[in-house]
Homo-oligomer: A and B are copies of this chain.
Amino acid sequence: MPLKSRIEMAIAQSIARGQGQAAPPKLAAALDYAVAPGGARIRPTICLSVALACGDDMPELSNAAAAALELIHCASLVHDDLPCFDDADIRRGKPSVHRAYSEPLALLTGDSLIIMAFDTLARAGDAEARRALELVRILSNRSGMPNGICAGQGWESEEMVDLSAYHCAKTGALFIAATQMGAVAAGQEAEPWYELGARIGEAFQVADDLRDALYDEATLGKPAGQDDLHDRPNAVASLGVDGAIQRLKDILGGAIASIPSCPGEAALAQMVTSYAEKVTPVAPATSPVRQRA
């Protein structure tokens, strides 16, 4: 089965379970609205690619890991879009969850998706409780405090920002979780897979900064120029556009070099290369490049 089908089926299965029985109908509908149709599903794709490279001997568990990652990611998008953060009206080309359903329901949707991620791991772990429990540990470590995406967001409320901790937590965390969870779901150690995840995360952050600076709202499917607007630290502001593109290439080269020895090493390197091509933005000739004030 293609990776994309595995990912979509696993997510749909978790959402359907969350909508079951006597659930309040609007919140049930909002759960689905928040995760479908999805974006590129980058984190679960990386997770399953690593699992396959490691032999993928328990596909049910790696599917659960992939779904859990995307559920946490979607939860963070729903909460980030709320008025007290980005106050974003659109996401993935449609109204954000709080716009479509209300602010209380968006808050609950995010909470429910976070919890659903852990539920998904726990339910898939019957055959291998030890692996499943390590997946819970990795995901919680990279989602919460002090190392996860919550910590990353938390830095945005500080006057003095530890930039390295900020970037690592804000964007890097779920990529580190993606590579490590793929390996652990397939029975391997987590630690050797840290660097690949961290480097992919760094690359993603630089690519995101470039897209935010170069693209308009229609192309992005969400408001553009947000880094500049909210005065957030970003690679384009510190390196310029050309410098940021060069940095992106360097990081991805390092990512490929960091792949641990495993049966599917070559295929995994290929995946990272095609990912690199996909995320590197091409500046439209007519697009105004925003300058930092």
Specify which of B79, B158, B162 is in contact with A107 (CB 8 Å cutoff).
B79
**Docked pose: A116 CA to B20 CA in angstroms:** 26
Contacts A144-B112, A146-B19 hold; do A137 and B122 have CB atoms under 8 A apart? Answer: yes
Are A28 and B146 in contact, CB atoms less than 8 angstroms apart? yes
Chain B proximity of A86: nearest CB distance (Å): 10
**Docked pose: A22 CA to B116 CA in angstroms:** 28
B-chain residues with CB within 8 Å of residue A114 when the two chains form the complex? 111, 114-115
- Which of A103, A111, A121 has the largest count of B CB atoms less than 10 A from its CB? A111
Q: Is residue A104 within 8 Å, beta carbon to beta carbon, of the partner chain?
A: yes
Q: How many residues of chain A have a CB within 8 Å of chain B?
A: 62
Interface pairs A-B: 6 shortest CB-CB: A115-B144, A23-B146, A27-B154, A119-B140, A24-B154, A22-B165
Chain B proximity of A288: nearest CB distance (Å): 30
B-chain residues with CB within 8 Å of residue A143 when the two chains form the complex? 115
Contacts A82-B107, A111-B110, A129-B133 hold; do A18 and B153 have CB atoms under 8 A apart? Answer: no
Q: Is residue A156 within 8 Å, beta carbon to beta carbon, of the partner chain?
A: yes
Q: Is residue A108 within 8 Å, beta carbon to beta carbon, of the partner chain?
A: yes
Are A147 and B26 in contact, CB atoms less than 8 angstroms apart? no
Q: Is residue A84 within 8 Å, beta carbon to beta carbon, of the partner chain?
A: yes
Contacts A118-B118, A121-B136, A125-B133 hold; do A150 and B28 have CB atoms under 8 A apart? Answer: no
Specify which of B19, B25, B146, B150 is in contact with A108 (CB 8 Å cutoff).
B150
Contacts A18-B144, A146-B19, A146-B21 hold; do A137 and B156 have CB atoms under 8 A apart? Answer: no
Are A157 and B123 in contact, CB atoms less than 8 angstroms apart? no
B-chain residues with CB within 8 Å of residue A46 when the two chains form the complex? none
B-chain residues with CB within 8 Å of residue A27 when the two chains form the complex? 145, 150-151, 154, 157
Q: Is residue A232 within 8 Å, beta carbon to beta carbon, of the partner chain?
A: no
B-chain residues with CB within 8 Å of residue A136 when the two chains form the complex? 118-119, 121-122, 133, 136
